[in-house]
Structure 1
């Protein structure tokens, strides 16, 4: 199978590339370095020639709704249009558990992505996953002042990025499946406590301060809205195991 990966250099994208190649698939990266602009669509049709499935794990750093919707809406539309023109038979996208219940600008962008796929003519699959184990370390840099890291108080059920990648390649191999059951990690944990564990394991010398995000989004995150509300597949790797393997 020939797979095209959008976001191939990101946290999950690098694992998608590795997993796909380990299974004997040919991988095509969709990146500016090879003449592809996902936001404009330039170079996409040519790069997708002969591709069986696209795996989209792109992301944007902005939390603003207008920016997130413009990014995910534009990239998804371009991938669908170019995919149809190139004869790609399957579009696989990664989304996030619980985004219906958290009024965040970034999540509104992801919801738009899901709607565009569902309304489009190209066969599709969507996997929602929880935050990755790496999120606890990334959170140290969201709001940092001197030695202090202000980390949002929220419940998470973190999952290994490698296991998310495996699930995405599974979907690409299985064929169009619509929205599949949510994937989460094996444990429900508090993010500031996870960030403190990262600081100790890495010897970073930072002081983590848990902060309550304001409004409905903050309340939803603290209540566990970003964790699965029903049974579904669960990752194998615990946070402790991931931390030990990366320290």
Structure 2
């Protein structure tokens, strides 16, 4: 089986390639580093030659709504027709939990990408992940006001990128879902509580301010909007384990 992983140099992409190879699959990493640009189409047709499964784990360079919408609209507009022309039998896209409930920001961009995937003639799967520990770590470092870090009290089940990559690889070698698989972590926190724990582990003295109006990925989520359904696949890595492994 020839699986092309697009966006292979990112946190999820590099781990997905490794997990696919653990399955004995011919995993082909594709990214700008390999001469392929999904926004221009450069090198795409050659990279997809002979492909059976396309795993799309590309990511926008910004979480801002306009920039992320533009990126995924352009990338999907290049990738899906090229994959269809190459004869791909399965197209898997990585998305985020909450795309069907959070109406703005990065979530809107991922919802539009999902729509394009569903409308494509290629059999498809969508894997939606809850916030990565790494995303919360980045949030704790960047969302800063004069009085501290403002974070919404939304409920989350944060997940490790290793657990997401394992789920993506498993779904990629299986039959197309024609639907959504949600992946989440084993523990539930409030996002503000989780951010405070990550800050403490980092030795960061800044305070966390609970702010119901604080955006996450460019949108303000309701309390339960970032939680997966009851049938989500749960990863194994706890917060303490992830902190110890860094």
Q: Secondary structure at the match of 2:210?
A: strand
The SS at the match of 2:19 is helix
Moved more, 232-241 or 92-101: 232-241
1:90 corresponds in structure 2 to 90
TM-score computed with the length of structure 1 as normaliser: 0.89
Could you say what secondary structure the match of 1:226 adopts?
Answer: coil
Q: Indicate the residue corresponding to 1:170 in structure 2.
A: 170
Where 2:95 maps in the other structure, the secondary structure is strand
Cα gap change, 1:203/1:16 in structure 2, threshold over 3 Å: closer, same or farther? same
Deviation, structure 1 residue 146: 7.7
2:4 is aligned to: 4
Residue 145 of structure 1, CA deviation: 5.3
Match of 1:178, SS state, is coil
Consecutive unaligned residues of structure 2, counting only runs of 5 or more, are none
2:30 is the alignment partner of 1:30 = yes
State whether residues 3 and 53 of structure 1, in contact with CA within 8 Å, keep that contact through their aligned partners in structure 2: yes
Find the counterpart in structure 1 of residue 77 from structure 2.
77
2:237 alignment partner, SS class = coil
Deviation at 1:50, TM superposition (A): 1.9
Q: How does 1:57-72 map to 2 (within 5 A)?
A: 57-72=57-72
- Report the counterpart of residue 102 of structure 1 in structure 2: 102
The 5-angstrom pairing of residues 1-247 of structure 1 reads: 1-144=1-144, 148-213=148-213, 217-218=219-220, 221-246=221-246
**Residues 98 and 107 in structure 2, CA contact (< 8 A), matched pair in contact too:** no
1:56 to partner: Cα distance:
0.9
Query: Could you tell me how far apart the structure 2 residues matched to 1:81 and 1:142 are?
Result: 37
TM-score normalised to the size of structure 2?
A: 0.89
Task: Judge conservation of contact 2:126–2:181 (CA < 8 Å) in 1.
Answer: no
Q: Quote the offset at 1:164 in angstroms.
A: 1.1
Unaligned stretches of 5+ in structure 1? none
Query: Contact 1:63–1:104 at 8 Å: present in 2 too?
Result: no
- Indicate how the Cα distance of structure 1 residues 196 and 109 shifts in structure 2: closer, same or farther if over 3 A, else same: same
**Helix, strand or coil: the match of 2:133?**
coil
Q: Is the contact made by 2:91 and 2:123 (CA closer than 8 Å) also made in structure 1? A: yes
1:214 Cα shift? 5.8
The CA deviation at 1:211 is 2.7
Aligned residues: 243
Asked if 2 retains the 8 angstrom alpha-carbon contact of 1:147 and 1:205, the reply is: no
Identify which range, 19-28 or 36-45, moves more after superposition. 19-28
**Which structure dedicates a bigger proportion of its chain to helix?**
1
Three-state SS of the structure 1 residue aligned to 2:127 is strand
Q: CA RMSD in A?
A: 2.1
Distance 2:45 2:172 in 1: 19
